[in-house]
Amino acid sequence: MLIIKTRERKRENPSRPKQSSPFIRVKNSYKTTIMIRLNLQLCKCFKQISFENEITAFNKYVSSVNIETLVCPFCGAKHALSPFASYKRHLVTYNNNTAQDNIIIISRYICSSCKRTHALLPSVIVPYMSFSFKFTVYLIHDYLVHKYHSVEAMCEHYGIAISTFYRILKKFKEHKQMWLGLLEDKLISNLTFVQHIINSSFDKLEDFIIQFFKQNGSSFFQGTS
């Protein structure tokens, strides 16, 4: 998978103002685009992949696709998906304490049975959001540990507007509660939950994102844009 370019993230002008582990889950001329999450059995190599570099993870994820094993997520048809098109999109990642704006290529497949097209989205991507999964997690982590002397300073470092940060934080709290339930949400702190995400292997994180999607019909952090 070709990464067209990578550059340092341009900063926005900040606006003023149950288990031992928390994990253990576009319209077009055809029909609605639905994302495809690869079966974990196809991605055993991810146990050795570090989540530190999301672009590397993205490339290895996409290169592991075996089209013969993909199942249409809408109608369930097997051996019916074929390459259809691709599109470029921004993905703002966070590596080496720096936000970077990357342009990546997303592959789309069409189902010969239901005629719907589907975008292949690795877990590093939050649908309809330019910030990567890791970017949002580290943003919230730094807020919870008070790494910066103010929210303004933190948003300046990450290059996002303060209003954007608070939308992300609100969605994080909503989705954490949806995943854990009311009781465990109160027992497991926001910081503990975030730290568990950061310390998880890529395959465990992928499993969490898949299970959350199956349970709620949307991805973790989706809906902040």
Residue with tokens 């097997």: 78
Cβ atoms of 26 and 33 closer than 8 Å: yes
* pLDDT score of 167: 95
More confident residue, 177 or 125: 177
* pLDDT score of 83: 92
Cβ atoms of 219 and 186 closer than 8 Å: no
Q: Is the pLDDT of residue 144 over 90?
A: yes
- Tens digits of residue pLDDT in 167-177: 999 999 999 99
Radius of gyration of the chain (CA): 18
Helix (H, G, I), strand (E, B) or coil at 166: helix
Instruction: Name the percent of the chain lying above pLDDT 70.
Output: 76
Q: Is the pLDDT of residue 110 over 60?
A: yes
* pLDDT score of 52: 62
Beta-carbon-side half-sphere exposure of residue 108 (alpha carbons within 13 Å) = 19
Q: Which two tokens stand for residue 6?
A: 């990578």
Q: Which two tokens stand for residue 8?
A: 């340092």
Cβ atoms of 118 and 36 closer than 8 Å: yes
Assign 32 a pLDDT band (cuts: 50, 70, 90): very low
* pLDDT score of 15: 46
Q: How far apart are CA 163 and CA 146, in angstroms?
A: 18
Q: Which of 124-133, 136-145, 199-208 has the highest mean pLDDT?
A: 136-145
Q: Which of 26-40, 53-67, 152-166 has the highest mean pLDDT?
A: 152-166
Domain assignments of the chain as residue spans, ordered by start: 5-12+26-216
Q: What is the pTM for the complete model shown?
A: 0.74
Task: Choose the weakest-confidence range: 19-23, 27-31, 95-99, 165-169.
Answer: 27-31
Q: What is the mean pLDDT of the chain?
A: 79
* pLDDT score of 130: 92
Mean pLDDT confidence for 103-131: 89
